[in-house]
Amino acid sequence: MSSPPGRRARVSSPGTSRQGSGAREEMRRRLKDLIEANRVMIFSKSYCPHSTRVKELFSSLGVDYNILELDQVEDGANVQEVLTEISNQKTVPNIFVNKVHVGGCDQTFQAHHNGLLQKLLQEDLAHDYDLIVIGGGSGGLSCAKEAANLGKKVMVLDFVVPSPQGSSWGLGGTCVNVGCIPKKLMHQAALLGQALQDSRKFGWEYNQQVKHNWEVMTEAIQNHISSLNWGYRLTLREKGVNYVNSYGEFVELHKIKVQQMEKGSPGVLKVVAKSTEGPETVEGTYNTVLLAIGRDSCTRKIGLEKIGVKINEKSGKIPVNDVEQTNVPHVYAIGDILEGKPELTPVAIQAGKLLARRLFGASLEKCDYVNVPTTVFTPLEYGCCGLSEEKAIEVYKKENLEVYHTLFWPLEWTVAGRDNNTCYAKIICNKFDNERVVGFHLLGPNAGEITQGFAAAMKCGLTKQLLNDTIGIHPTCGEVFTTLEITKSSGLEITQKGC
């Protein structure tokens, strides 16, 4: 019995009389209609042997498919150009399965061998969406956009319970609204204030009284945040993701309830504070708490208990396996709510993107949580990558480690007369693995920028000898890591005695 032949798809050209962006958008729409309307859509050329191999593969699997032969349609070159914009692939065959871009010939056969193709071919029409994301933070948005890129129908639910003042966040999660972005911008404001003080020592003279206007700064920062909120909404719309500013809650397996909570008027908080130096207790009722310590995982009121998802009862965090899967197979978690993983925006973005690719058959790659760099944007920045000294001792034992460290004095601080024993550099090396660097720590100006580069080196297996062999850029703070000599075990003094 012969295998089922592929059906020929048609796409009419808008014609040479229609030029410019309008014709191009019409062509894009027609191609997307073909991708969405057909279970298997192959963009091919009749004479291409790689295209023939792919067609034979689907025929051997008994899977019907649709073909558009680009060498046999009007304006085929332009069709292929628009197809490149859609798929980011210039060559044929260009294959889509259930709206997911599989790739070319080699990628399709690879997907067949590892089982991803079979998974993609299993249609599931019982649900309204292929993916629903609860939480519009960095990880959720990354996952949603990647799933949409792969042709999936996606919904994002994002709603932040208003503060007692009645204020709420825009789309983007902690990082954009109250985390990394405003934090770094306010950090920059503080650095500028310090630079004003230092400038007199560098010859700058000014008579006008310099003062800081808090309202001007906060308005400028909030305007930037609002532009980011809007940008995220626009991107989701362009990718066809259904964004709903509502609270999402599980009601049963594969079913989520959506509810438009009212912001309401400012409420009040009862605050109880106990002195650390005595038995005194202060109690009061306030509209706003100006200082809070710590963060809470918002996982207890979204119905996870109704579908059996386990959480850490103390922290509210969610345990997952190495592919971010919870104990309930179709529920996954990424970002700050993960138990035992870094609470960092780039980590969530990477995990979200890779999760979407695994879920919808584009890749098997997992998120790598090892040697993730980070920075604390305090007035004197702290950057690190890898293990702390305490954790390294726990993992490798103290006798197997060598710790190199020093205090240093940035050149920019010398003329300004700032303390010459404030900045600190340290690396932790595994003595029995070619002195490989397992921990990197820096306290100093621009620690974030410096740490980013050394993190890439650590991914490549950075050793102490490689640092010794690297010529430093003088005069910079980063060069201190190319000249580290004093070990903690030597007990030698690391304070700076002069210039």
Cα–Cα dist 83/157, whole Å:
31
Cα–Cα dist 407/412, whole Å:
15
Intra-chain end-to-end CA distance of the chain, in Å? 87
On the CB side of 142, CA atoms within 13 Å amount to 19
Q: In this structure, which amino acid lies at residue 423?
A: C
Concatenated DSSP letters of 46-110? TT-HHHHHHHHHHHHTT---EEEETTSSTTHHHHHHHHHHHHS--SS-EEEETTEEEESHHHHHH
Whether 455 and 427 have beta carbons less than 8 Å apart is answered as no
Beta strands in 387-443 (DSSP E): 401-408, 423-430, 436-443
Residue 187 annotated as catalytic: no
**Element housing 272 (H / E):** strand 269-274
Considering 101, 113, 405, 474, which one is annotated as catalytic? 474
Which of these, 365, 360, 353, 358, lies nearest to 101 by C-alpha position?
Answer: 360
Reported residue count of the chain is 499
- Parallel, antiparallel or unpaired: strands 374-376 and 100-103: unpaired
Contacts of 138 (CB under 8 A, 6+ apart): 172, 173, 175, 176, 335, 345, 346, 348, 349, 352
Cα–Cα dist 275/422, whole Å:
31
* Token couple for 427: 């690396």
Cα–Cα dist 284/305, whole Å:
34
| Residues assigned a catalytic role | 474
